[in-house]
Amino acid sequence: MSEPTAAAHDPYEPKPTFWQEHPQLGWGLWIFALTVVLTYVAFPPVGAGEAGYVLAAPALLWAFRTPRFKPFALTMLAANVVAWTWLLSWLANAYWLAPFLLGPFMGALATLWYLAAWWFVPRLRGHRAMVRLIGVAGLASLWVMSEALRSWIFGGFPWLPLAASQWQRPLVLQSASYGGAWVVSFVLVMFNCGVAAYAHRIFFEGATGLRKRSPEFMAALMLLVFSSFPFLAEMMGQQRHKLARVALVQPNIPQGEKWDPARARDVLRTIEKVTFDANDRGAPDAIFLPEAVVPWPVHRDPAVQQWLESMAKRTGKPLVLGSVFTQGSGESEEWFNGAFVVDPVTGLQEPGYAKRKLVPFGEFVPFRPALGWLTKFVPLGPGDFSRGDDARPLLLTAGRNVMPLGVLVCYEDIFPGLARESVRDGADVLTVVTNNGWFGTGGAAYQHATHSVLRAVENRRPLVRVGNAGWSGWIDEFGNIRANLRDEDGSVYFRGSETVSVTRDARWVNRQSFYTEHGDWFLVVAAVLATVAYYLLLTLRPPTPKLGETVF
């Protein structure tokens, strides 16, 4: 008699459900949905910063369950690609395919950290508390290093580090003045790891009583408290001194009109109208206008400089504005994107500021020998823009004060090193001039503004920001948003202006933050922590607890 090839199903046993037969699929669907939603809502336009504390926790909890690599990897890749494509959907206003190119790239980079978590997290189980804490710190350090990688790879696009999710919660950001936004991201990832470890202990380890204690969660909670609340007294004891009243002008020129030669005169009339209105209504000491405000480059056409100087004389106020400009002539002519101060008495101040970090495919085409067939989506200049290399501030005389302005043009404020260089070179106030008009009225301006908050805190400098249509306002040294221009409907996307009083904490005059002085030292610490954690988990075996012993 031949043996049966499979055991017959017991009719008295309940038939397993589809999800019981396919547990990996059930976990995958839940983790996919939670990761996509939590990652998206943590940042603007939703801006639920609380999600930043738990967005990675579902995937980490799954990693504790030792899933197979392929389902885990595919789920996290799909979740991050969807989340980042959704976050960057505003790029479609400039080029419809852009979010479907950059979103998957950003999602793939984010997935690398989750794959590291798949290796790290199961190996934490069974170890004593100290080893587990070092392992969690190493995993959080890898997140920080992945954010730093985005600053360098292919020219860099460090958009929306996890710290940016806290842009409206300044107390959490204060440690950035010591270690940069990297420290804030580290603290948030530690908290994610602590939540996942605590959840696993309660729901899957059957822990009761004192065994519910999670060293990972307690350590993450203490780190959050001690990286935030010691700064509370400093934030509450500010000694504000007035710097100047500045008018922030949003011309809100549609991009299809700004660079159309047939509409250039209308563009200038619009700029004049909104600028003179700002001067008449607000009695400012200075007037700030956005990036590339005039439709022709300075220096190439003398009429442009004459028009700017005429506006400054007629208002009687210095202008701070972004403008394209040229140097040289003929075949040696170079085009720059930059900024200038135009004084009502002495005219256009030279030299201006030339942008140090250019936008790929907007201001230059990367890998030009291989991608020379591609063109920029900004229809200016005969070819690629040239790069500036000088961080020295522009000097603005506003009222009785002379303010050295550290200028950042457009997305330069997403690179922490550029703002730091400006402050080290003497900037007392950081200034961002930008033009988010390319990207519609979605989340682009809000997402961009989160980085300005981080730069202000890192360098302990007030930051004045003005955009073509928004986000415009000013942020103090502690990341408090002191003013934000909105219309009667509460939208930042409008044509208009507002005059605001910019102040400064006297305790930070002629003083630099620890981060400004010492830079990205925390990245070195993160690299060491990640290396030590990897070595320990690779070489140490978990101890075998004795009968009745609990390993915490």
Q: Is the pLDDT of residue 373 over 90?
A: no
Cα angle vertex 12, ends 10, 17, to 5°? 80
295 with 197, same domain: the answer is no
The lowest-confidence range among 96-110, 247-261, 340-354, 498-512 is 247-261
351 with 400, same domain: the answer is yes
The lowest-confidence range among 47-61, 210-224, 241-255 is 210-224
Provide the token pair at 517: 């002085």
- The pLDDT of residue 210: 55
Q: Residue 288 CB: number of other CB atoms within 10 A?
A: 28
The lowest-confidence range among 18-27, 202-211, 274-283 is 18-27
- The pLDDT of residue 416: 97
- The pLDDT of residue 550: 42
Q: Is the pLDDT of residue 31 over 50?
A: yes
For the chain, how many structural domains are there in total? 2
Query: Cα separation of 260 and 394, whole Å?
Result: 30
Whether 551 is covered by a domain: the verdict is no
- The pLDDT of residue 64: 94
- The pLDDT of residue 50: 97
- The pLDDT of residue 371: 53
Cβ-based burial of 510 (10 A; exposed 0-12, middle 13-18, buried ≥19): exposed
- The pLDDT of residue 233: 92
Q: Residue 47: pLDDT band by 50, 70, 90 thresholds?
A: very high
Q: Is the pLDDT of residue 381 over 90?
A: no
Query: Cα separation of 264 and 205, whole Å?
Result: 69
Say whether 394 sits in a helix, a strand or coil: strand
Whether 128 is covered by a domain: the verdict is yes
Q: What is the DSSP letter of 203?
A: H
Q: Determine the average pLDDT of the residues in 511-518.
A: 98
Ramachandran sector of residue 292 (left: φ over 0; alpha: ψ -120 to 50; beta: rest):
left
Query: Cα separation of 287 and 280, whole Å?
Result: 11
Q: What is the DSSP letter of 154?
A: G
- The pLDDT of residue 551: 41
More confident residue, 203 or 460: 460
- The pLDDT of residue 379: 57
More confident residue, 331 or 503: 503
Pairing state between β 353-354 and 347-348: unpaired
Q: Is the pLDDT of residue 374 over 60?
A: no
64 with 118, same domain: the answer is yes
Q: Is the pLDDT of residue 546 over 80?
A: no
Query: Cα separation of 418 and 130, whole Å?
Result: 38
Look over the chain and give the mean of its residue pLDDT values, rounded to a whole number: 90
Query: Cα separation of 491 and 469, whole Å?
Result: 10
Q: Determine the average pLDDT of the residues in 110-130.
A: 94
User: 479-494 pLDDT, tens per residue?
Assistant: 999 999 999 999 999 9
Q: Determine the average pLDDT of the residues in 434-439.
A: 84
Pick from 6-10, 255-259, 357-361 the range whose average pLDDT is largest.
357-361
User: Which backbone phi and psi does 325 adopt, to 5 degrees?
Assistant: -145, 165
Query: Cα separation of 433 and 23, whole Å?
Result: 52
Residue burial 228-249, b: 16+ Cβ < 10 Å; e: rest: beebeeebeebeeeebbbbbbb
- The pLDDT of residue 541: 83
Whether 544 is covered by a domain: the verdict is no
Three-state secondary structure string covering 105-140: HHHHHHHHHHHHHHHHHHHHCCCCHHHHHHHHHHHH
- In 153-259, alpha helices (H): 170-173, 176-179, 181-203, 215-226, 232-236, 255-258
Range of the structural domain that residue 402 is part of: 240-508
Q: What is the DSSP letter of 401?
A: E
Whether 462 is covered by a domain: the verdict is yes
Q: Is the pLDDT of residue 224 over 90?
A: yes
Q: Residue 3: pLDDT band by 50, 70, 90 thresholds?
A: very low
Whether 517 is covered by a domain: the verdict is no
User: 308-339 pLDDT, tens per residue?
Assistant: 999 999 999 999 999 999 998 877 889 999 99
- The pLDDT of residue 8: 53
Q: Residue 271: pLDDT band by 50, 70, 90 thresholds?
A: very high
The model carries a pTM of 0.92
Beta carbons of 470 and 485 less than 8 angstroms apart: yes
218 with 165, same domain: the answer is yes
Q: CA–CA distance from 116 to each of 63, 146, 195, 264 (Å)?
A: 10, 11, 18, 53
Whether 323 is covered by a domain: the verdict is yes
85 with 139, same domain: the answer is yes
81 with 214, same domain: the answer is yes
CATH number for the domain harbouring residue 247: 3.60.110.10
219 with 260, same domain: the answer is no
- The pLDDT of residue 378: 59
273 with 179, same domain: the answer is no
The lowest-confidence range among 167-171, 183-187, 386-390, 457-461 is 386-390
345 with 462, same domain: the answer is yes
484 with 533, same domain: the answer is no
225 with 104, same domain: the answer is yes
117 with 217, same domain: the answer is yes
User: Which backbone phi and psi does 359 adopt, to 5 degrees?
Assistant: -85, 120
- The pLDDT of residue 211: 63
Strand partners, 463: 430, 475
Whether 7 is covered by a domain: the verdict is no
Whether 347 is covered by a domain: the verdict is yes
Q: Residue 552: pLDDT band by 50, 70, 90 thresholds?
A: very low
Q: Determine the average pLDDT of the residues in 376-399.
A: 82
- The pLDDT of residue 2: 45
- The pLDDT of residue 234: 92
Pairing state between β 286-288 and 319-327: parallel
Reply yes or no: is the peptide bond before residue 254 cis, omega within 30 of 0.
Answer: no
